[in-house]
Structure 1
Amino acid sequence: MRLVACPVALHPDGAPRRLAIATHPQIALVHAEIAPNARPENTAAQALYAIGGLETRAALLLGTSDDIVAGERWHFALCRTVPPVRAQWQNAGPDGTLQRFGWLALDDTLPDGLTAPHDRAIDWIRAAL
């Protein structure tokens, strides 16, 4: 089974509940494969910084789900981001690809363009919070 870490990075102002997501080239949650012997919350915080460019002050494991992608166990970690944060930003990920990011209001209707796994992951996050 493939192990995946997904940072749940909420906007530091707290209201409304907003989650950091990639907005281009596709709408997606930041996530990364967990290396052997690595802690899921550490992997989530590292992925948030490496992929999304957001620094984490603390990461706390929220829980896991085997229902996001078949053959994968997703570990969700609440990541407290370091302010200030922008409404939108860009970051070059580990592979050099430039991605754009923004905030998704968790209590609003989900945008078109989310893949089924990311839609299921956001539903999991909403239920956990």
Structure 2
Amino acid sequence: MKKLIIINGPNLNLLGKREPAIYGSLTFTEFFDTVKKKYANVDLEYYQSNVEGEIINKMHEVGFSYDGIIINAGAYTHTSIAIGDAIKGIETPVVEVHISNTFGREEFRHQSYISPNAKGVILGFGMQSYELAIHSFI
């Protein structure tokens, strides 16, 4: 059984409330409950933090023993060299995920410090972006 973790960064705890025109009205907990049932053959965990260092600590914790990490680092994608370095420093492959098409948004969102160190990038498919990332590992 594959062991995967979804790591969400800042403000993604507000899914379902935050800018529903961009992110939809489903909370991540509701989505995750559905995904866990759908992929019962995958040991799937979820972690969210608004704190950069906590995200890095989690990646260090799981980055040598899990089969895959799916990360939506939120705005840290575009600002955190440290998260990019953490991905470079671990062995577990990482897929970068975004709910929206970041290239269709503000220009500062076109830069990612995660992408150069990720196995792949999936963006713009709403919450289904996470499911596509799960498929990439199974």
Q: TM-score surpassing 0.5? A: no
User: Comparing both chains, which one has the higher relative contact order based on Cα–Cα distances under 8 Å and sequence gaps of 6 or more?
Assistant: 1
Greater strand percent: which structure? 1
* TM-score, scaled to structure 2: 0.29
